[in-house]
Structure 1
Amino acid sequence: MPDALPSDPDGRTPTSDDLVRLAEAMELVAVRASLSRDEPLTALVTATVERLPGADAASLTVLRGGKFSTEASTGEDAERADALQYEIGSGPCVDAVLDDNVYVTDDVERDERWPEWGHRAHAATGFRSVLAYRLTLLDDSGAIACLNVFSRRRAAFGRRDIGTGLVLATHGSLLVTALVARDRAENLRRALESNREIGVAMGILMQQHRLTREQAFDVLRVASQDANRKLVEVATEVADTGTLTITRWPRGLPDGRPQG
């Protein structure tokens, strides 16, 4: 958490009604995510803006393979603010990810931690206040995420907002973890399907042309290169038709005629 929490702009302390509304927000995110398989992160950033009174925009950043990207946002200004951080290599979002912390700033133009980003972001978007939460992902994917909240008001976020945002960020951690796991499972399924098609095609070529496994794979590879097609596409065609269209055979292999 930040070293010194700002006071709430309206001076009000959290109530049981606040907790009820926050629980409703979590339910709304879950419902939106279930209804829109491809946009659950958009549901998260939208709910964040709806539940933080001072917020004008929100986004979700993911660091994967050493590269930052904005995976969801409520608009172009949030994406511009993020892109500037990625370009400069510094800012509340980037630093929250790298430092595993929560960052809050009341006026980006006067914040000495991010002088270049603050001036450029304000000029481009009008944002002044920012909240940035690193999300704790419960897997070993190596991805790191951050929930970013922006406001055009000075000192827009107080203690209550930071607490609400933290709950939203915790929910976001679970959501991003689930999505990463889903993507990895889908990629694995596709890889297994591709390997199956390649294996079937190799078996057909081995039987028809008396080839070894290595030779059959070389034939598929050459056919893929010459036709400028993906290897799995060529393999699927062989598996479906039992024949291979090829302009040349690898050197040292049979001429392509089935071997009796």
Structure 2
Amino acid sequence: MSDNVEIRETPAGGLEQAGTGLQDFMLLLQDLVLESSDVRNFLTEMATIIAGRLSRDGNRISCGITVVRHKRPAAVASSDRQAQSLDELQNSVGDGPCLTALRSATVVSVPDTGSDSRWPKYLRAASKAKIGSILAVPMHLQNQAQAVVNLYSPTAHGFSPEGTDEAEGLTGISAKALDLALNIAHLRDARDDLTAAMKSRTVIDTAIGAIMAQNRCSRDAAFQILVKTSSHRNIKLRELAAAIIFSISGEQEISTTYAE
């Protein structure tokens, strides 16, 4: 171990290497990006890690993360059921500290849910759920998406200035990892769309060939027959093509020449 690395005792009673903690967190998230099967799985693991790093004895933090992607449903993940229920409640109410942070791209702090007059309906429910304070930290993403980290403490004034700084630091690093995860997800979506398109084209081409053989006509004429029948029966072109192939060969799946 290097002599110039400071070792200090944390409030939780553990030992942390100052100056290397955030780097370790970054490396952990990078590994998580590569190991996660999808964005929601990545977000759930990330929320759990953030909650664990911010928790202290007597102040167990819950973490929720909300991501809004362009033209896709919002992805919501949480470290535990309490964070999940509070995020779901806020989304159902349509307003609150976390949604405000998401819309304004600024940090929103609720030091005491029992005395804060903003968002009364939501904060009453949070206080009833034994949440004393809330901190919402937006993620600044390069990707075409918006995200916010929602932090819940069981005690009033549960986020000290140092704790808030740490939360913002972790969120900043997490945003870079989330950008990478979203880019990978975008590539996966593009691959899946291409695979589906290639499969549809193969099915339609096969059906056109069958119509050409049955009617002794050109490819263009066979395609027009398929289009007119699809419109007349109000059936999608690919579904009609698949039905034609099945009626002739009994095959429900047509393999494509596209390889990943």
TM class by shorter chain equals: 0.7 to 0.9
Q: Note if 1:151 corresponds to 2:157.
A: no
In structure 2, do the counterparts of structure 1 residues 109 and 18 end up closer, same or farther at CA, with 3 Å as the change threshold? farther
Q: Which has the higher contact order (CA 8 A, sep 6+)?
A: 1
Name the structure 2 match of 1:183: 185
Q: Which of 44, 58, 61 is the equivalent residue of 2:46?
A: 44
Q: AA paired with 2:26?
A: M
> Does structure 1 conserve the Cα–Cα contact (< 8 Å) formed by 2:33 and 2:181?
no
Name the structure 1 match of 2:27: 27
2-structure distance, mates of 1:33, 1:134:
20
| Structure 2: segments with no counterpart, 5+ residues | 1-9, 212-216, 251-260
| Structure 1: segments with no counterpart, 5+ residues | 1-9, 246-260
In structure 2, do the counterparts of structure 1 residues 32 and 199 end up closer, same or farther at CA, with 3 Å as the change threshold? closer
Name the structure 2 match of 1:129: 133
Q: Secondary structure at the match of 2:77?
A: strand
Name the structure 2 match of 1:216: 226
Q: Tell me the alpha carbon deviations over residues 155-177 of structure 1, each in whole angstroms, 9 at most, x when there is no partner.
A: 11112212211122112222322
1-structure distance, mates of 2:73, 2:223:
41
Aligned-pair CA distance for 1:151 = 0.7
In structure 2, do the counterparts of structure 1 residues 116 and 243 end up closer, same or farther at CA, with 3 Å as the change threshold? same
In structure 2, do the counterparts of structure 1 residues 120 and 213 end up closer, same or farther at CA, with 3 Å as the change threshold? same
2-structure distance, mates of 1:113, 1:32:
36
Name the structure 2 match of 1:78: 83
> How many pairs are equivalent?
224
Aligned-pair CA distance for 1:199 = 1.8
> Does structure 2 conserve the Cα–Cα contact (< 8 Å) formed by 1:107 and 1:128?
yes
Q: Secondary structure at the match of 1:19?
A: coil
Q: AA paired with 1:35?
A: E
Q: TM-score, normalised by structure 2?
A: 0.72
